[in-house]
Amino acid sequence: MQAPAAPTTSQPPVHPIVELDYRVRSWANLLVLVVMASVFLERESPTWYWLLLVFQGVAWAPLARARAKRATDSRRAEHQNLLTDAVIYGVLSGLASFSLWPTTLMLASILLSVLSLGGPQMAWRAAAAFVPGAVLGSAISGFSLHFESSLRTSLFSVVCFVPYLLMFGMNSFVQNQRAQRARHELAHRNEQVTRQNRELELARMLAESANRTKGAFLANMSHELRTPLNAIIGYSEMLESDAVDAGQHTKAQDLQKIRTAGTSLLAMVEDVLNLSRLEAGQTYLASNPIRPGEMVRAVADNAREQIENNGNVFRIDCDMGTPCVMGDEGKIRQILSHLLSNAGKFTRAGEVVLRAWHEADTQTLVLQVSDTGIGIAPAQREHLFRAFAQVDDSSTRRFGGSGMGLAIAQHYCDLMGGAIDVESEPGAGACFTARIPAPLANRVLLVAAATAAMQNKAVAHA
């Protein structure tokens, strides 16, 4: 059995000055090593002087880089390394008895480095760190002052200072080139973002124009579609009634099929128009008194034929004593109609139960439709309320339908501040519960009357 892998922590990015300063520090420390070795060779110097010089010239640069890379804030750690450089250079200057050329070389190199990387404020801090280091080195050497330098030391100082300046200038040039490239890349990306924003704005305008065009087309076509369909349904009903009276039952059945097909097509046209208005944000709510018991019974009577034609038993459990509530009756009727249509469509030789009640404490109208149909798998529920989507392709072929009913019902519930919950298992039917805010009408009317009275009193006082 393998041990669980230890959690990995992301290392913060290393600041660019770490690598830049490593290159400068490596070369500068080697040059200082050469100059100070010349000074120590001219005098009797203890062994630890040489150990300190070798550490500073060879080992300190990689140690400083490793420390900065491991730090959480690499930029701050590198600034601390620069101050440490200043202290070390100060100690070496004191040990050299402030020999003029070596001291000038070390002080100039540290100030130039710090000034370019940290600015004037950092340069002042480095100068302040150089002083105690110089005092410490001078105290160790017995506070001896020996400003003169040998010709060899002076020559080494001048010769070493020139390549340091060249190397420092080259690094500055490289950083300047990188900054210019970064500015060009930033400008290029800004141009790309601006172009993409223009393209997105153009696409949005085109989409809005297309949406307006679609809305205008559907609004104009609604009359053109409804009128012939209503004529087909009306004339088929008349001819069906005449055929029944004449005893022509075969013809009556054919006319009934025409009427049913026309009614289904008209309902589909209504769904397309309603969905289009919802997507365009052109659907508005009304608030009128509703008697939910009568409304539920009327919708159930309209849906009974479709449900019972599939061999189902249709039961209604509705609290007919439910008081009058406020809401958009047309939208609530459509929600319940779509839920019943969905249950009747996917249930064969089973049972469909409609329950409706009003919760007084939460002022909510609850419409619940359960069936013993094919059920819905958990993975398919997330697609259930999408427009033009059904359980799967096979159900579309077997049961038909456009897949707009539940999407419209969900939209209307959301618009009214409600929700639809689904409980279902494959092969065990489904239960849809719509919860719609519906305050009692008398309470709403009393509040409206009180508000109107207060407004009239305010106007009268004014």
Residues 258 and 302 occupy one common structural domain: no
pLDDT of residue 229 exceeding 70, the answer is: yes
Q: In terms of pLDDT, which residue wins out, 117 or 375?
A: 375
Kindly state whether residue 81 falls inside one of the protein's structural domains: yes
- Residue 419 structure tokens: 């929700």
Kindly state whether residue 432 falls inside one of the protein's structural domains: yes
Residues 252 and 296 occupy one common structural domain: no
Residues 249 and 313 occupy one common structural domain: no
Whole-model pTM: value is 0.49
Residues 265 and 412 occupy one common structural domain: no
Kindly state whether residue 28 falls inside one of the protein's structural domains: yes
Select from 373, 395, 391, 368 the least CA-distant residue to 381.
391
Distance CA 40, CA 36 (A): 6
Residues 132 and 244 occupy one common structural domain: no
Rounded to a whole number of angstroms, the distance between the first and last alpha carbons of the chain is 85
Kindly state whether residue 189 falls inside one of the protein's structural domains: no
- Can you say how many angstroms the Cα of residue 59 is from the centroid of all Cα atoms in its chain? 49
CATH number of the structural domain spanning residue 379: 3.30.565.10
Q: In terms of pLDDT, which residue wins out, 370 or 401?
A: 370
Tens-place pLDDT, residues 249-293: 888 888 888 877 777 777 777 767 766 666 666 677 778 888 888
pLDDT of 1 reads 40
Residues 271 and 307 occupy one common structural domain: no
- Residue 266 structure tokens: 């008209």
Distance CA 290, CA 332 (A): 10
Give the DSSP letter string of 416-433: TT-EEEEEE-TTS-EEEE
- Residue 342 structure tokens: 């969905």
Q: In this structure, what is the dihedral angle of CA atoms 62, 67, 68, 70, given to the nearest 10 degrees?
A: 120
Distance CA 284, CA 286 (A): 7
Q: In terms of pLDDT, which residue wins out, 321 or 301?
A: 301
* Structural domain containing residue 114: 16-149
Q: In terms of pLDDT, which residue wins out, 23 or 71?
A: 71
Give me the mean pLDDT over the 84-109 stretch. Answer: 80
Tens-place pLDDT, residues 120-172: 888 788 888 888 888 888 888 777 777 777 777 777 776 666 666 666 666 66
User: How many structural domains comprise the chain?
Assistant: 3
**Is residue 368 within 8 Å of residue 355, measured between CB atoms?**
yes
Tens-place pLDDT, residues 192-224: 998 999 999 999 888 888 777 776 676 666 667
Kindly state whether residue 339 falls inside one of the protein's structural domains: yes
Residues 323 and 376 occupy one common structural domain: yes
Domain boundary among 258, 279, 300: 279
**Is residue 364 within 8 Å of residue 435, measured between CB atoms?**
yes
pLDDT of 52 reads 85
Sequence-separated (6 or more) residues with CB below 8 Å from residue 12: 72, 73, 74
Please state, in angstroms and as integers, the Cα–Cα distance from residue 100 to each residue in 53, 92, 164, 335, following that order. 18, 12, 18, 95
276-280, 342-346, 404-408 — most confident range: 342-346
Residues 270 and 308 occupy one common structural domain: no
Kindly state whether residue 198 falls inside one of the protein's structural domains: no
Give the DSSP letter string of 426-455: TTS-EEEEEEEE--BHHHHHHHHHHHHHHH
Domain boundary among 279, 299, 320: 279
**Is residue 146 within 8 Å of residue 98, measured between CB atoms?**
yes
Kindly state whether residue 98 falls inside one of the protein's structural domains: yes
pLDDT of 4 reads 47
Domain boundary among 242, 261, 279: 279
Residues 70 and 140 occupy one common structural domain: yes
Residues 266 and 313 occupy one common structural domain: no
pLDDT of 434 reads 92
Residues 274 and 299 occupy one common structural domain: no
Residues 94 and 223 occupy one common structural domain: no
pLDDT of 170 reads 65
Kindly state whether residue 193 falls inside one of the protein's structural domains: no
Q: In terms of pLDDT, which residue wins out, 1 or 376?
A: 376
